[in-house]
Amino acid sequence: MLNERDKHIVVRIIKYCDEVKLIIAAFDDSLETLKTNIIYKNAVSMCILQIGELTTHLSKEFLAANTQIPWTSIRRMRNIAAHHYGKFSMEMLHGTIMESVPELKEYCQKLLG
């Protein structure tokens, strides 16, 4: 059972996952486009940053009960996007938006029922 605060955060995480999907649809899903289109890169990076920030507000109880998701890695990705943006691996970002974000969304939707 989710407490209200965690539920609200999970809903917001899903919203950003949906935004990533919309951004991919507006551009395309190729790594090459991500590497060469600064608007695409900036848009998905902002969503990744927001998702990572939201995870820092989840309760310790929630995190302990939901170990299937690598919450620490999500926070690390946020820190890379926020503090080391110029060193951001486009391959890592591409893998995140194409695989990890949809998996996170699916997991969060299951939590909400």
Q: What is the pLDDT of residues 15-68, one digit of tens each?
A: 999 999 999 999 989 999 999 999 999 999 999 999 999 999 999 999 999 999
**CA nearest 54: which of 36, 68, 74, 39?**
74
From the number of C-beta atoms within 10 Å of its C-beta (0-12, 13-18, 19+), residue 15 rates as middle
Percent of the residues in the chain that have a pLDDT greater than 70, as a whole number: 98
**48/113 Cα distance (integer angstroms):** 24
**91/6 Cα distance (integer angstroms):** 31
User: On the CB side of 7, how many CA atoms lie within 13 Å of its CA?
Assistant: 6
